[in-house]
Amino acid sequence: MNLPEAFINKYQKLLGDEFDEFLASFNNPVNHGFRVNPLKNQLPTDLDLTHPTPFSKWGYYGNVKGKSLNHQSGAVYSQEPSAMMVGEVAAPKPGQTVLDLCAAPGGKTTHLASFMQQEGLLVTNEIMGKRAKVLVENVERFGIKNALILNETPESIATSFPNFFDVVLVDAPCSGEGMFRKDPDAISYWSEEYPIKCADRQRTILKEAVKAIKPGGNLVYSTCTFAPEEDEQMIAWLLETYPQFEVVSIDKPAGVEDGRPEWANGNEELKKTARLFPHKVAGEGHFIAKLHLTEAIFPNKEVKKQRDSLTKEQRGYLNDFISEYLPGCPQSDFITFGDQVYVLNSETPDLNHLKVKRPGLQFGVFKKNRFEPSYALALTLNKESFSHCIEIDKEQWAKIVHGDTIKVENAEKYKGWVLLVCENQSVSFGKLVGETVKNYFPKGLRFAI
């Protein structure tokens, strides 16, 4: 790999005797990985689960095809192996309030949701509009019910959620040095000054992120770069600027090293942070720090809650659907955006003045004199939770994702909406007309096998 001369000189000085091994690692093959989805009721049956990663209890080495049942149904999520350690360090508990501030494409968000088990509020944010769209798709595919998806600035998040979150994850935009092997194009925009510019942006983000953490909460900061300016020096700055934080020790799998105080201000607390080097672990380069907020930094402010916004007529259509198809469904509040209806999490703040991509789980859409359930809802369900389910095979699944209709046997026992299930994975809703299943797989997501 053709690395910049300034990069080579920098790390030759920093790493000393281990530099040659570090440099050689850039010519090694990239390690691919995936996580299985614990929010689904069934593990995928046709994947090799014999090579677990040390970075996550749900993580494995291997490849997942994008045009596969496991990917389409959200049974798995492709993720670089060492990146899995970030979510494992954050490890939120069910019922907590959690923020993923720089979230796209969604790897960390889906990992956080795995810990939360559909309980609490997960606010996941991406400032770039196109990337926010990808984040929405991955959140919905994973079957997450408790996510509020925003397309906002850190400043706006801090204003709307003061002293609010139990866990805040800042997977900061960085110089990307740790991804050079995986994404050689990242080398083209690297320069000797680039880590310094990134560090300036990271400090701006962190100044807002800390305003959103409640006393007793945790901040997890991570990058995919080796640059001390963005790693140990960033945490040293954070501790000096906000003495209310203390560093939390991170459990480190074999090969994961302590942070290096000598690359910052010599503060020994920086050893509690974690560094992942590609010549030490089977993965790419990362830095992770976890900090605990011992007392409030800023005065507390009241956060107004969002309220249920359904009309009486809409509530009637929704209740009719739930009573027929979702027996035992817990009572929920809902919010409408135009004709779309979403499940409203009880912790959701007032959404005025926020750029909202999804205020909660997209439950469906109101049409003239009826309610139509969403694809996102289908991916949160299993065959035990929906009253009308039809098992389809892989050949029928291929027709569904392509947008075709299918014929089913013994259709007389069903009518109306059906949940299509393939190899125990929910894949979409359909509507039964005679023996034909009318296809409701989203047009924008259809593909050919």
Residues 177-186 pLDDT 10s = 999 999 999 9
- Predicted local confidence at residue 94, as pLDDT: 98
Provide the residue type at 19 as one letter: F
| CA distance to 159, 355, 376, 424, 432, per residue, from 362 (Å) | 25, 16, 6, 22, 22
Quote the CA–CA distance of 362 and 86 in Å, as a whole number. 28
Give me the chain's average pLDDT, please: 95
Name the 3-class secondary structure at 366.
strand
Task: State both tokens at 92.
Answer: 């939120």
- Predicted local confidence at residue 358, as pLDDT: 97
| CA distance to 65, 177, 277, 286, 366, per residue, from 55 (Å) | 22, 20, 13, 12, 43
Q: Is the pLDDT of residue 443 over 90?
A: yes
Helix extents (H) in 28-77? 69-72
Residues 15-26 pLDDT 10s = 999 999 999 999
Q: Is the pLDDT of residue 323 over 80?
A: yes
Tell me whether strands 416-422 and 389-392 are parallel, antiparallel or unpaired: parallel
Scored b (16 or more CB within 10 A) or e, 197-208 reads ebbeebeebbeb
Q: Is the pLDDT of residue 374 over 80?
A: yes
Output the known binding site.
102-108, 126, 171
Phi, psi for 303 (deg, rounded to 5): -110, 115
pLDDT band at 42 (very low <50, low <70, confident <90, very high): confident
Q: Is the pLDDT of residue 410 over 90?
A: no
70 near 44, Cβ under 8 Å?
yes
233 near 264, Cβ under 8 Å?
yes
- In the residue annotation, 224 being an active-site residue is answered as yes
Measured at the CA of 51, the angle between CA 181 and CA 77, to 5 degrees, comes to: 65
Q: Is the pLDDT of residue 43 over 90?
A: no
Cα-Cα-Cα-Cα torsion 352, 356, 359, 365, nearest 10 degrees, comes to 110
Residues 253-279 pLDDT 10s = 999 999 999 999 999 999 999 999 999
Residue 122 pairs in a beta bridge with: 98, 147
Quote the CA–CA distance of 400 and 103 in Å, as a whole number. 30
Name the 3-class secondary structure at 76.
strand
Tell me whether strands 97-100 and 165-171 are parallel, antiparallel or unpaired: parallel
- Predicted local confidence at residue 223, as pLDDT: 98
Residues 96-125 pLDDT 10s = 999 999 999 999 999 999 999 999 999 999
237 near 265, Cβ under 8 Å?
no
Output the known binding site for S-adenosyl-L-methionine.
102-108, 126, 171
Lowest mean pLDDT among 41-55, 344-358, 377-391: 41-55
Measuring CA to CA, which residue among 358, 354, 377, 393 is closest to residue 429? 377
Quote the CA–CA distance of 69 and 17 in Å, as a whole number. 47
Lowest mean pLDDT among 239-243, 292-296, 403-407, 408-412: 408-412
Residues 217-238 pLDDT 10s = 999 999 999 999 999 999 999 9
Task: State both tokens at 427.
Answer: 């894949």
Q: Is the pTM of this model over 0.85?
A: yes
Looking at the chain, the whole-number percentage of residues with pLDDT higher than 90 is 88
Which of 224, 329, 389, 422 does the annotation list as catalytic?
224
Per-residue DSSP letters for 17-28? GGHHHHHHGGGS
- Predicted local confidence at residue 210, as pLDDT: 98
Task: List domains and CATH numbers for the chain.
Answer: 5-293 (3.40.50.150), 384-449 (2.30.130.60)
268 Cβ partners below 8 Å, 6+ apart? 261
Residues 425-435 pLDDT 10s = 999 999 998 88
Over residues 198-214, the mean pLDDT reads 98
Measuring CA to CA, which residue among 109, 103, 287 is closest to residue 195? 287
From edge to edge, which strands make up the β-sheet containing 340-344? 333-337, 340-344, 362-367, 370-373
Cis bond leading into 359, ω under 30°? no
pLDDT band at 174 (very low <50, low <70, confident <90, very high): very high
144 near 122, Cβ under 8 Å?
yes
